[in-house]
Amino acid sequence: MARKKTKKRRIKIKNVFMVFLFIVILLLSLAFLTDVKINNIVIKGNFLYSDWDIIEMAKLDDYPSSLKTLSSSIEKRLEKDDYIKEVKVSRPSLTKVVIEINENLPLFYYLPADKTILSDKTEVNDDFSVPTVINYVPDKIYFNFLNAISSIDYDIVKRISEIKYDPNEVDDGRFFLTMNDGNQVYLTLNKFTKIDDYLDIIKEFDNKKGILYLDSGEYFVVKE
């Protein structure tokens, strides 16, 4: 009976070398990429915290490795803070991080309760540079007032010094605002967003001081 001849396969040195070279290049590439650091951090939507505050809270102040820093980790660190509602992190490039902040902003200090009211309607004891509501607002009106003031431009909110609940026989949702620049404004709940145009309206009166009626008629009465 004839024996079958077995073929011996020779390992080609060239193929082994190519595999070895591929592994070396892969390891070097991974080592390089791991060493690439975040060096461009963009912060958006922050009012309460400075850019550097956000960077420190996110633990990006030492510009860590890009690959080792997960977007979800950044979001979780920042969302632990009571004054941050939501965070969205995007990575346009390997070295760039964009952090969009939705803060839980302080809206006003409510004197009757001796509390600062945040945009999510919670009450805190911390002090902020916000308007003071100086008198009691009935519960039904208060809820609508909270929604109204949280819907206006926050830069305008910061320009208000004092708010007085001031209903009349026509409208029980009427408020009297004293601005930081010395002007005063009448507003009603259903027209509250008109205050967003405050700066443009005041410019028309050559920086004169007076009372702006946005509750009805939309006119300005100059103080003598």
The domain spans of the chain are 36-103, 106-222
* Beta-carbon count within 10 A of 184 CB: 18
Q: Where are the beta strands (DSSP E) in the chain?
A: 40-44, 84-93, 96-103, 106-110, 115-118, 123-124, 132-133, 160-165, 174-179, 184-188, 210-213, 219-222
82 contact partners, CB below 8 Å, separation of at least 6? 104, 124
Specify the pLDDT at position 20: 64
Specify the pLDDT at position 32: 52
pLDDT in tens, 134-165: 999 999 999 999 999 999 999 999 999 999 99
Q: Select 36-103's CATH number: 1.10.3720, 1.10.1660, 3.10.20, 1.10.357.
A: 3.10.20
Specify the pLDDT at position 25: 61
Specify the pLDDT at position 109: 97
Q: Would you give per-residue pLDDT tens digits along the chain (224 residues)? A: 555 555 555 556 666 666 666 665 665 555 555 567 898 999 999 999 999 999 999 999 988 988 888 999 999 999 999 899 999 999 998 889 999 999 999 999 999 999 999 999 999 999 999 999 999 999 999 999 999 999 999 999 999 999 999 999 889 999 999 999 999 999 999 999 999 999 998 888 887 889 999 988 788 888 86
In this structure, what DSSP letter does residue 68 have? Answer: T
Specify the pLDDT at position 36: 78
106-222: CATH class:
alpha beta
Query: Cα–Cα distances in Å, from 27 out to 16, 20, 33?
Result: 17, 11, 10
Global pTM value: 0.75
- Closest to 160 in 3D by CA, of 131, 186, 184: 131
What are the phi and psi torsion angles at 218 (to 5°)?
A: 50, 65
Specify the pLDDT at position 150: 93
Specify the pLDDT at position 51: 96
Specify the pLDDT at position 57: 96
Specify the pLDDT at position 217: 76
